[in-house]
Amino acid sequence: MKFNPDLITIAGNWKMNGHKAAAAEIEKLINLINETDANIILFPPFTLISDFVEISKSSYLSIGGQDCHHKDSGAFTSSISASMLRDAGADYVIIGHSEARALHGNDSSNVINKTYNAHENNLVTIICVGEDLSVRSEGKHYDFISKQLENAVARTSNRNNTLIAYEPIWAIGTGDTASIEDIQDMHAHINNTLKDFDMFKKGNPSILYGGSVNPKNAAQILSINNVNGVLVGGSSLDHIEFNEIIKSK
Protein backbone atom coordinates (compact mmCIF):
# COMPACT_ATOMS: atom_id res chain seq x y z
CA MET A 1 0.00 0.00 0.00
CA LYS A 2 1.45 3.39 -1.01
CA PHE A 3 2.50 5.65 1.86
CA ASN A 4 -0.03 8.37 2.68
CA PRO A 5 1.44 11.17 4.88
CA ASP A 6 -2.05 12.24 5.93
CA LEU A 7 -2.71 8.95 7.72
CA ILE A 8 -1.52 7.63 11.07
CA THR A 9 1.47 5.29 10.71
CA ILE A 10 1.81 2.10 12.77
CA ALA A 11 5.25 0.56 12.20
CA GLY A 12 6.74 -2.53 13.80
CA ASN A 13 10.49 -3.14 14.08
CA TRP A 14 11.23 -6.82 14.60
CA LYS A 15 14.97 -6.18 15.13
CA MET A 16 16.93 -9.49 15.22
CA ASN A 17 13.91 -11.73 15.68
CA GLY A 18 12.08 -14.17 13.44
CA HIS A 19 12.64 -17.20 11.21
CA LYS A 20 10.74 -18.57 8.23
CA ALA A 21 8.12 -20.03 10.55
CA ALA A 22 7.15 -16.44 11.42
CA ALA A 23 5.28 -16.37 8.10
CA ALA A 24 2.34 -17.86 10.01
CA GLU A 25 2.37 -14.86 12.37
CA ILE A 26 2.20 -12.46 9.42
CA GLU A 27 -0.65 -14.38 7.81
CA LYS A 28 -2.61 -14.16 11.07
CA LEU A 29 -1.93 -10.42 11.29
CA ILE A 30 -3.09 -9.82 7.71
CA ASN A 31 -6.31 -11.70 8.42
CA LEU A 32 -6.97 -9.36 11.35
CA ILE A 33 -6.19 -6.11 9.56
CA ASN A 34 -9.31 -4.61 8.04
CA GLU A 35 -8.21 -0.97 8.22
CA THR A 36 -7.55 1.24 5.22
CA ASP A 37 -7.04 4.48 7.15
CA ALA A 38 -3.49 3.85 8.40
CA ASN A 39 -0.03 3.12 7.04
CA ILE A 40 0.86 -0.28 8.50
CA ILE A 41 4.48 -1.37 8.11
CA LEU A 42 6.63 -4.22 9.39
CA PHE A 43 10.42 -4.25 9.42
CA PRO A 44 11.53 -7.90 9.67
CA PRO A 45 15.17 -9.04 9.53
CA PHE A 46 16.68 -8.94 6.03
CA THR A 47 16.31 -12.73 5.59
CA LEU A 48 12.51 -12.50 5.77
CA ILE A 49 11.83 -9.44 3.61
CA SER A 50 11.17 -11.30 0.35
CA ASP A 51 8.92 -13.87 2.02
CA PHE A 52 6.94 -11.20 3.87
CA VAL A 53 6.55 -9.12 0.71
CA GLU A 54 5.11 -12.12 -1.10
CA ILE A 55 2.73 -12.93 1.76
CA SER A 56 1.54 -9.35 2.19
CA LYS A 57 0.94 -8.41 -1.43
CA SER A 58 -2.67 -7.33 -2.02
CA SER A 59 -3.01 -6.60 1.71
CA TYR A 60 -2.86 -3.38 3.75
CA LEU A 61 0.55 -4.37 5.16
CA SER A 62 3.81 -2.91 3.79
CA ILE A 63 7.34 -4.21 4.37
CA GLY A 64 10.62 -2.39 4.99
CA GLY A 65 14.27 -2.95 5.87
CA GLN A 66 15.86 -2.12 9.21
CA ASP A 67 18.89 -0.32 7.74
CA CYS A 68 20.86 0.12 4.54
CA HIS A 69 24.39 1.00 3.48
CA HIS A 70 25.17 4.46 2.14
CA LYS A 71 26.67 2.94 -1.03
CA ASP A 72 24.72 1.03 -3.66
CA SER A 73 27.29 -1.77 -4.02
CA GLY A 74 30.88 -2.64 -3.27
CA ALA A 75 33.22 -4.50 -0.93
CA PHE A 76 31.17 -3.94 2.22
CA THR A 77 30.92 -7.34 3.86
CA SER A 78 27.74 -7.89 5.95
CA SER A 79 26.01 -4.81 4.52
CA ILE A 80 22.74 -4.43 2.60
CA SER A 81 22.19 -1.66 0.07
CA ALA A 82 19.03 0.31 -0.56
CA SER A 83 18.83 -1.15 -4.07
CA MET A 84 18.93 -4.66 -2.58
CA LEU A 85 16.03 -3.77 -0.29
CA ARG A 86 14.07 -2.44 -3.25
CA ASP A 87 14.95 -5.56 -5.26
CA ALA A 88 13.58 -7.70 -2.41
CA GLY A 89 10.31 -5.78 -2.60
CA ALA A 90 10.71 -3.43 0.38
CA ASP A 91 9.08 0.00 0.25
CA TYR A 92 10.55 1.49 3.43
CA VAL A 93 13.81 1.61 5.38
CA ILE A 94 14.77 2.70 8.91
CA ILE A 95 17.73 5.08 8.98
CA GLY A 96 19.80 5.99 12.05
CA HIS A 97 18.19 3.78 14.67
CA SER A 98 20.10 4.18 17.93
CA GLU A 99 21.00 0.48 18.02
CA ALA A 100 22.42 0.64 14.49
CA ARG A 101 24.35 3.81 15.37
CA ALA A 102 25.82 2.15 18.45
CA LEU A 103 26.69 -1.14 16.76
CA HIS A 104 28.00 0.16 13.44
CA GLY A 105 29.44 3.54 14.33
CA ASN A 106 27.07 5.50 12.11
CA ASP A 107 28.42 9.04 12.15
CA SER A 108 26.30 11.93 10.88
CA SER A 109 27.69 11.93 7.33
CA ASN A 110 27.02 8.20 7.05
CA VAL A 111 23.42 8.58 8.19
CA ILE A 112 22.54 11.39 5.78
CA ASN A 113 24.21 9.54 2.89
CA LYS A 114 22.07 6.51 3.68
CA THR A 115 19.03 8.75 3.40
CA TYR A 116 20.15 10.03 0.00
CA ASN A 117 20.75 6.50 -1.25
CA ALA A 118 17.40 5.27 0.04
CA HIS A 119 15.57 8.07 -1.77
CA GLU A 120 17.50 7.37 -4.96
CA ASN A 121 16.05 3.86 -4.77
CA ASN A 122 12.51 5.10 -4.10
CA LEU A 123 12.37 3.93 -0.50
CA VAL A 124 10.40 5.85 2.10
CA THR A 125 12.72 6.60 5.02
CA ILE A 126 11.96 6.53 8.72
CA ILE A 127 14.76 8.64 10.20
CA CYS A 128 15.33 7.96 13.91
CA VAL A 129 16.50 10.51 16.45
CA GLY A 130 16.80 10.21 20.21
CA GLU A 131 18.91 11.11 23.19
CA ASP A 132 20.39 9.00 25.97
CA LEU A 133 19.84 9.60 29.66
CA SER A 134 23.04 11.59 30.15
CA VAL A 135 22.10 14.12 27.45
CA ARG A 136 18.64 14.55 28.92
CA SER A 137 19.98 14.84 32.47
CA GLU A 138 22.25 17.67 31.33
CA GLY A 139 19.30 19.48 29.77
CA LYS A 140 20.84 19.31 26.30
CA HIS A 141 18.21 17.09 24.68
CA TYR A 142 16.56 19.74 22.51
CA ASP A 143 19.84 20.91 20.99
CA PHE A 144 20.95 17.30 20.59
CA ILE A 145 17.81 16.33 18.65
CA SER A 146 18.02 19.46 16.47
CA LYS A 147 21.58 18.52 15.52
CA GLN A 148 20.58 14.94 14.75
CA LEU A 149 17.86 16.18 12.42
CA GLU A 150 20.27 18.52 10.62
CA ASN A 151 22.68 15.62 10.13
CA ALA A 152 20.14 13.07 8.92
CA VAL A 153 17.46 14.82 6.83
CA ALA A 154 18.65 14.95 3.21
CA ARG A 155 17.82 17.59 0.61
CA THR A 156 15.85 14.88 -1.19
CA SER A 157 13.44 14.58 1.74
CA ASN A 158 9.80 15.64 1.58
CA ARG A 159 6.64 14.72 3.46
CA ASN A 160 5.87 11.97 0.94
CA ASN A 161 9.14 10.04 1.34
CA THR A 162 10.22 10.83 4.91
CA LEU A 163 9.02 10.18 8.45
CA ILE A 164 10.82 11.11 11.65
CA ALA A 165 10.79 8.73 14.63
CA TYR A 166 11.62 10.08 18.06
CA GLU A 167 12.96 7.26 20.21
CA PRO A 168 14.44 8.33 23.54
CA ILE A 169 17.24 5.81 23.99
CA TRP A 170 16.50 5.49 27.69
CA ALA A 171 13.01 4.22 26.86
CA ILE A 172 13.83 1.61 24.18
CA GLY A 173 13.24 -1.92 25.42
CA THR A 174 13.38 -0.80 29.06
CA GLY A 175 9.68 -0.79 29.81
CA ASP A 176 10.02 2.89 30.72
CA THR A 177 7.93 5.13 28.48
CA ALA A 178 8.58 8.84 28.36
CA SER A 179 5.88 10.84 30.13
CA ILE A 180 3.07 12.42 28.13
CA GLU A 181 4.69 15.81 28.79
CA ASP A 182 8.10 14.55 27.61
CA ILE A 183 6.66 13.23 24.36
CA GLN A 184 4.48 16.27 23.73
CA ASP A 185 7.32 18.73 24.35
CA MET A 186 9.85 16.88 22.19
CA HIS A 187 7.44 16.29 19.32
CA ALA A 188 6.53 19.98 19.38
CA HIS A 189 10.24 20.82 19.29
CA ILE A 190 10.83 18.47 16.35
CA ASN A 191 7.82 19.85 14.49
CA ASN A 192 8.96 23.45 15.01
CA THR A 193 12.54 22.59 14.00
CA LEU A 194 11.41 20.92 10.76
CA LYS A 195 9.36 23.97 9.78
CA ASP A 196 12.66 25.79 9.18
CA PHE A 197 13.89 23.13 6.71
CA ASP A 198 13.50 24.29 3.11
CA MET A 199 12.48 20.83 1.91
CA PHE A 200 9.39 20.90 4.15
CA LYS A 201 7.93 24.22 3.04
CA LYS A 202 4.95 22.30 1.62
CA GLY A 203 4.34 20.53 4.92
CA ASN A 204 6.19 18.72 7.67
CA PRO A 205 6.71 14.97 7.62
CA SER A 206 4.94 12.64 10.03
CA ILE A 207 6.57 12.29 13.44
CA LEU A 208 6.38 8.89 15.13
CA TYR A 209 7.05 8.01 18.75
CA GLY A 210 8.96 4.87 19.67
CA GLY A 211 9.97 3.57 23.06
CA SER A 212 8.20 0.69 24.84
CA VAL A 213 4.94 1.23 22.92
CA ASN A 214 2.40 -1.46 23.74
CA PRO A 215 -1.38 -2.07 23.56
CA LYS A 216 -1.90 -0.48 26.98
CA ASN A 217 -0.28 2.89 26.21
CA ALA A 218 -0.67 3.20 22.43
CA ALA A 219 -4.01 5.03 22.42
CA GLN A 220 -2.80 7.63 24.91
CA ILE A 221 0.44 8.19 22.99
CA LEU A 222 -1.40 8.53 19.67
CA SER A 223 -3.69 11.17 21.18
CA ILE A 224 -0.77 13.55 21.85
CA ASN A 225 -0.37 16.61 19.62
CA ASN A 226 2.24 16.15 16.86
CA VAL A 227 2.32 12.38 17.30
CA ASN A 228 1.42 10.99 13.88
CA GLY A 229 2.11 7.36 14.62
CA VAL A 230 4.26 4.91 16.55
CA LEU A 231 7.32 2.76 15.92
CA VAL A 232 6.74 -0.43 17.90
CA GLY A 233 9.37 -2.91 19.06
CA GLY A 234 8.58 -6.09 20.99
CA SER A 235 4.80 -5.79 20.75
CA SER A 236 5.00 -5.99 16.95
CA LEU A 237 6.23 -9.59 17.18
CA ASP A 238 2.83 -10.79 18.35
CA HIS A 239 0.02 -10.42 15.80
CA ILE A 240 -2.64 -9.95 18.47
CA GLU A 241 -0.72 -7.24 20.35
CA PHE A 242 0.26 -5.43 17.16
CA ASN A 243 -3.32 -5.49 15.91
CA GLU A 244 -4.48 -4.03 19.24
CA ILE A 245 -2.07 -1.15 18.69
CA ILE A 246 -3.38 -0.68 15.14
CA LYS A 247 -6.95 -0.56 16.44
CA SER A 248 -6.06 1.95 19.15
CA LYS A 249 -5.30 4.80 16.72
What confidence tens digit (pLDDT) does each residue in 104-115 have? 665 666 899 999
Q: What is the pLDDT of residue 31?
A: 94
Whether 97 sits among the annotated catalytic residues: the reply is yes
What confidence tens digit (pLDDT) does each residue in 53-91 have? 999 999 999 999 999 999 999 999 989 999 999 999 999
Dihedral, CA atoms, 13, 212, 167, 220, nearest 10 degrees?
110
Q: Which of 97, 141, 187, 239 is catalytic?
A: 97
What confidence tens digit (pLDDT) does each residue in 135-168 have? 998 999 999 999 999 999 999 999 999 999 999 9
Cβ(11)–Cβ(228) under 8 Å? no
Whether 167 sits among the annotated catalytic residues: the reply is yes
Q: What is the pLDDT of residue 56?
A: 96
CATH of domain 8-247: 3.20.20.70
Rounded Cα–Cα distance for residues 236 and 141 (Å):
28
Q: Which of 141, 167, 187, 239 is catalytic?
A: 167
| Percentage of the residues of the chain whose pLDDT score is greater than 70 | 96
Cβ(226)–Cβ(208) under 8 Å? no
pTM: 0.95
Give 240's pLDDT tier (boundaries 50, 70, 90): very high
pLDDT at 18 over 70: yes
pLDDT at 188 over 80: yes
**Segments making up each domain of the chain, as ranges:** 8-247
